[in-house]
Amino acid sequence: MCTECDFRTELFKRRILVDTGIDGLPARSGMFESVITGFDNLITSFGGGDHPEVMRFPPAMNRARFEKSGYMKSFPQLAGTIHAFNGTDKGHATLLDKLMGGEDWTDQQEATDVVLAPAACYPLYPTVAELGPLPDEGRLYDLQSYCFRREPSKDPARMQMFRMREYVRIGTPDQVTDFRQTWLDRGRELMSKLAVPFDVDVANDPFFGRAGRMLANNQRDQRLKFELLVPIESTEKPTACLSFNYHQDHFGTLWGIRTAKDEVAHTACVGFGMERVALALFKHHGFDTREWPAPVRKALWG
């Protein structure tokens, strides 16, 4: 375990991650990616037997759907939008002049109809609503996507773009709360196989501003979010590596998803922070995966 050394410096020095000059935007080495692949497979070994529908959304999503999702109400500080140049030759000349002159040239761009996905499950709900009422057994999805959150940090476990694997359950309140309980148990079992220290605790999302504090308190009081935390950058403030979220009828109401009995559907998701789990493994088992404990290697790579 890396205690006396600076974990981030060591990751870069050994080129497990490669600095690109922007905090939270490193390149990943082959060794790092092999851990991500191993963990991805481990997740599937726990969740694949439930036969989820696998979907892979691109890391950008429909802006109109993003706007409707209410993300800007809750997390305006984290959102990333995509802008592009859509002008004429004259506009192009202005853009280049500004660029050459070291001025801000980005005012020559306009917002496009796509934004960066803030979580793997955001693009899913409207596509489920389009299918009509849920079958009796509800629906279950397996997602993975690169996600963007504008939270630059020196903490290697706080990235601006990172991969989130998710299982998402859509159905009756009972189906959905059973799912979350199952994953709270599985999450513990899964992380035990990786032999890293962890704790599970009630949590809240980083809702913005004064109104956000109330939302965060409410989320905690109702125990809607749990996190599985592993000490990575600091032992006092362990890092959330897995999240277990119960959205109640929020997305069901928003997108008009109905159950087979024509009630508003409830939703829950379990999210795995792929890079964070990989970093937790490097932190606790060292910088060379070949020297990791045999049971951990077996859990990841068979």
Residue ranges binding ligand AMP (CB under 6 A): 119, 149, 151, 158-159, 162, 164, 240-243, 271, 273, 275-276
Check if the beta carbon of residue 80 is closer than 8 Å to that of residue 66.
no
Report the residue closest to ligand AMP, judged by CB. 273
Nearer to ligand AMP, 129 or 232 (CB): 232
Q: How far is CA 13 from CA 5, 105, 131, 162, in A?
A: 12, 35, 50, 21
Residue 191 contacts Zn ion per CB under 5 A: no
Residue 153 C-beta: closest distance to ligand AMP, Å: 7
Residue 290 C-beta: closest distance to ligand AMP, Å: 25
Residue 194 C-beta: closest distance to ligand AMP, Å: 14
Q: How far apart are CA 9 and CA 159, in angstroms?
A: 15
Beta-carbon neighbour count of residue 264 at 10 Å?
A: 17
Residue 269: contacted member of ligand AMP, Zn ion, none (CB under 5 to 8 Å, by partner type)? Zn ion
Residue 144: contacted member of Zn ion, ligand AMP, none (CB under 5 to 8 Å, by partner type)? none
Residue 261 C-beta: closest distance to ligand AMP, Å: 29
Nearer to Zn ion, 269 or 300 (CB): 269
- String of DSSP letters for 75-87: -TTT--EEEEE--
Q: How far apart are CA 148 and CA 181, in angstroms?
A: 28
Q: How many residues bind Zn ion (CB under 5 A)?
A: 3
Residue 121: contacted member of ligand AMP, Zn ion, none (CB under 5 to 8 Å, by partner type)? Zn ion
Token pair belonging to 166: 């998710």
End-to-end C-alpha distance for the chain, whole angstroms: 23
